[in-house]
Amino acid sequence: MTGFDFSFAGTTLTALGAGALWWPNMRMLVVSDLHLGKSERHARRGGGPLPPYETADTLQRLSQLIAQSDPACVICLGDTFDDLAAAQALSTQERALLHDLIGARRWIWIEGNHDPAPTDFGGEHHSALNIGPLTFRHIADPETQGEVSGHYHPKARVRSTSRPAFLVDPARVILPAFGTYTGGLRSTDPALTTLMSPNALAILTGPRPLPVPMPR
């Protein structure tokens, strides 16, 4: 696993090039915004056709990352499913893979705005969760310190390169979206520039994670 190590709230965390967060002392893998079933939901709501491969691709990448890291615990930071009906519409093969991943370790679902209720996949379901000095939730709370969240799908541009990115400041870490069909919000957007402190860091994902001052 390639990653960039940084200190946060008295811990050492690793922003992985694959777009997940690794907490080595806890053997914990954190991912956000998989949006499984997005193509099914898009079609169900009358949208144009999307290639129906994003769920299989996202789950394959997640499975590979879990095999590499062997986490004791996985946290999904919300919007794991594009909506609750999409969770029920996963194929038999996709459901079986997800059940296998969940059954082999502690698995924690944090509720998102797309998936606010528990599913039938097992694991734990929380609106937010404190573990040690960190608080895990879907949407950042400006009043919280030591917070790890998702929701915004941040991305950052450096010269001609634009990639999904982690955003880090002394109070919070915002993860990029892990899902295949998720798009992104530029770090220059006011929703992010007003939330993150002036000294915030952007860590661009990819084969070699690239830490830069957060583009504003």
Query: In this structure, what token pair is assigned to residue 91?
Result: 């194929």
Say if residue 59's pLDDT is above 80. Answer: yes
Task: Assess whether pLDDT exceeds 80 at residue 77.
Answer: yes
| DSSP letter (8 states) at residue 113 | S
Residues of the chain by 3-state class (helix, strand, coil), percent to 5: 20, 30, 45
E strand map for 62-133: 73-76, 106-110, 124-126, 128-131
Helix (H) / strand (E) containing 173: strand 172-174
Q: How many domains does the chain have?
A: 1
Query: pLDDT at position 39, please?
Result: 66
Residue bearing the bigger pLDDT, 16 or 183: 16
Label residue 116 by pLDDT band (50, 70, 90): confident
pLDDT tens-digit profile of 92-104?
999 999 999 999 9
CATH of the domain at 150: 3.60.21
For residue 79, the enclosing domain spans: 3-213
Does the reported pTM lie above 0.85? yes
